[in-house]
Amino acid sequence: MTNVHTPLLEIRNLHAVIEEDGTEILKGIDLKILPGEVHAIMGPNGSGKSTLAHVLSGRPGYVVTQGTARFQGMDLLAMPAETRAREGIFLAFQYPVEIPGVSNTYFLRTAVNTVRKHRGQPELDAIDFLALLDEKAKLVKMEEALLNRSVNEGFSGGEKKRNEVLQMAILDPKLAILDETDSGLDIDALRVAASGVNALRDGVRGMLVITHYQRLLDYIIPDYVHVLSDGKIVKSGDKNLAKELEAKGYSWIEKEPPPATASTVAGALAR
Amino acid sequence: MSDAVLDRLTRQEYPHGFVTDIDTDVIPAGLSEDVVRLISKKKGEPEWLLDWRLKAYRHWLTMTEPKWARVTYPPIDYQKIVYYAAPKSSVEGAPKSLDAVEPELLAMYEKLGVPLKEREILAGVAVDAVIDSVSVATTFKEKLGSLGIIFCSFSEAVREHPDLVKKYLGSVVPSSDNFFAALNSAVFSDGSFCFIPKGVRCPMELSTYFRINQADTGQFERTLIVAEQGARVSYLEGCTAPKRDTNQLHAAVVELVALDDAQIKYSTVQNWYPGDREGKGGIYNFVTKRGKCAGRNSRISWTQVETGSAITWKYPSCILLGDNSVGEFYSVALANNYQQADTGTKMIHIGKNTHSTIVSKGISAGHGQNTYRGAVTILKNAEGARNYSQCDSLLIGDQCGAHTFPYIEVKNSSATLEHEASTSKIGEDQLFYCMQRGISAEDAVSLIVNGFAKRVLKELPMEFAVEAQKLLGVSLEGSVG
């Protein structure tokens, strides 16, 4: 909306199945995100929200059977997961993974230098990296002690999610996908994580915020809200749609006939 | 996806697999009393040592190969092994200085990353280089000598310091100890000898670099380290061998003796040729290592990074005889492709208030089988003994195995023992998490494995820790599939 760039992300008729048993989870997703836009995907459990995040970030275990996904005009689905990350897709995990014995700082520096190398930027030496880390850690109120501990090992739920936001701040992605960043957080932890995310809204970076509950969207205010049900986007609207959902429950959407509302959200959806 | 990557990662080429063309003095294959006599004669040994060898040989004849380890291999024909091979230039006795060492030999060590000359000048590490059956060079001898430290080849120690050798040889690992130790005692050809006199702290790392070059030879070296009252020493050994289709036997013995208040730190980075991807060839590494904390407040610490060999059978152990003595064992063992490792330790608590720590990290990939086997024994008089054991296994892929056999025997009720164990698998989750941050699968595996082994790697002397880290990464190349 803010400008007429190439879409950051353009998904058309995306179908995906679970590799192991062939169960179809995504049944024709259309979505367009322009630079600077924040889109929220809401939906009941099992609607395919997390699967969408996984398929876009290249997690193994899924097969795309139909449709396309283009990232800045490139064929996203043809790229291996690490290339997607290096090109600027970041996934904040719903369940961040522990890596015992590997310090958070070392992990981050390895990651950031891999990404910088890919972008043709010089690698950061230890001193420059620590300066960057210091700056970004303040953004998400991350204590220094956590930086020296092993990646996510023994972190509380809130610390893990803050760590995800810290990684996002440091890797400076073009499109950030937040997979249920609010799950397992109390309200204070949620505020801290959300303020970190908001600090990274710069009018250029795109965001796809996946959540079950509306409350996250009180803190990260989206430009568009889409409701996912049974592998399809069944309703799209602005931030008020989230509030309406909260009031009426998902059953309200599921009872309605397939919507024609997509066209009312100009520019937000793929044609 | 990750399977394909793991697969690629474990498909590594062994970088030390070359053969060096050196004029070598080799005796015919086979073992008999005459061969034992011949080896002793070639080395110009005194009568007592020949008698010691013969006694060991006669005892060996009555023994059978141990079968309790969780390893399988075809029967070894001991008559097909060559028990003595030496570069010709060194037959006349070890060279007096590095200048007298054959250029081909120096070049070989250079290629292995052990530049004897450079190390002498730059790194401050004293090196004893052992090829096939003999020691070819020892650096820094004079400097160490001024402190009263003896660091030389075993043969030289027999010639120059017979009383010390006689006193301590076999005092920790008797010649009749086990099948492979008895064999070694009969035919050992060389090795390293270190003696740190009372009150002296050795100012530099001592290290021995072992290299098998000749085909069909066995390598049977002995290392003996004695630290007198209050002495301290840190010692490191490294090992490589050429790639060959046949298996080669390496049966070494290491004995450590620590007197009152003495400390010995013994580190191993073992990278013998592990065999190819189908399990063909490779070294049988059947080694007996044991340290005796003979004195009060003494400490012996074993650290090992075992990435090579087709089969590893070794249990660096500590006899905690002196009161308040401390034994430590830190181990990373990696079994990839068809490698088999059965390794661990024995901590024998005899003195009062003796403490021991065991940290074992086993990594299995490909079809590798990794076994931790450890025994903690607290004897009747070991009042207040303590042991802490931690055994962790990491699995990469679904064709490998990890096995743990901890034995505990306690005869004193005041003892405290703790045992922790875990088994984990490099998960798709961990790999994907790293890759989603832009890190390649290869780098991710190396990162995860090094994180897993960190507790042990940090026990290594600094300059070798970096080497060991790289080695773990390289040894797993091709393992992510």
Query: Which one, of B321, B314, B269, lies nearest residue B289 by Cα?
Result: B314
Q: How many CA atoms lie within 13 A of A95 on its CB side?
A: 5
- Which stretch of B21-35, B329-343, B430-444 has the lowest confidence by average pLDDT? B21-35
CA–CA distance, B165 with B163 (Å, rounded to integer): 5
Q: Is the pLDDT of residue B338 over 50?
A: yes
- How far is Cα of residue A19 from the mean position of the Cα atoms in its chain? 22
Tell me what the mean pLDDT of segment B421-450 comes to.
89
Contact flag B1-A102 (C-beta cutoff 8 Å) = no
| Min Cα separation B396/chain A (Å) | 15
Q: Are strands B311-314 and B416-425 parallel, antiparallel or unpaired?
A: unpaired
Question: How is residue B219 annotated by DSSP?
Answer: B
Best A19, A50, A59 member to test B by mutation, with max B CBs in 10 Å, is A59
**Residue A142: partners with Cβ closer than 8 Å, 6 or more residues away:** A162, A163, A166
Q: Does A101 touch chain B (CB under 8 A)?
A: yes
Phi–psi pair at A26, nearest 5 degrees:
-95, 130
In this prediction, residue B227 carries a pLDDT of 97
pLDDT digits (tens, 9 = 90+) for B71-102: 888 888 888 888 887 766 554 444 445 555 55
pLDDT digits (tens, 9 = 90+) for B252-274: 999 999 999 999 999 888 877 77
Q: Please tell me the total number of residues recorded for chain A in this structure.
A: 271
Contact flag A80-B1 (C-beta cutoff 8 Å) = yes
Complex-level ipTM: 0.91
Tell me the pTM. Answer: 0.81
**Residue A231: partners with Cβ closer than 8 Å, 6 or more residues away:** A24, A25, A26, A27, A28, A29, A47, A48
Q: Is the pLDDT of residue B212 over 70?
A: no
Domain boundaries, chain A: 9-264
Q: Which structure tokens are listed for B449?
A: 């494995």
| Min Cα separation B21/chain A (Å) | 42
CA–CA distance, B52 with B57 (Å, rounded to integer): 9
CATH 3.60.15.10 assigned to domain A9-264? The reply is no
Q: Which structure tokens are listed for B190?
A: 């060389």
Query: Which one, of B31, B85, B30, B75, lies nearest residue B53 by Cα?
Result: B31
Contact flag A99-B433 (C-beta cutoff 8 Å) = yes
Q: Please tell me the total number of residues recorded for chain B in this structure.
A: 481
Contact flag A99-B447 (C-beta cutoff 8 Å) = yes
Of A118 and B191, the one with more pLDDT: A118
Q: Does A65 touch chain B (CB under 8 A)?
A: no
Q: Are strands B416-425 and B125-131 parallel, antiparallel or unpaired?
A: unpaired
pLDDT digits (tens, 9 = 90+) for A169-198: 999 999 999 999 888 888 888 888 898 899
What 3-state class would DSSP assign to B186? helix
Contact flag A102-B433 (C-beta cutoff 8 Å) = no
Contact flag B435-A102 (C-beta cutoff 8 Å) = no
Sheet with A38-42: strands ordered across: A89-92, A175-179, A206-211, A38-42, A224-229, A232-237
Residues of B in Cβ contact (< 8 Å) with A171: 437-438
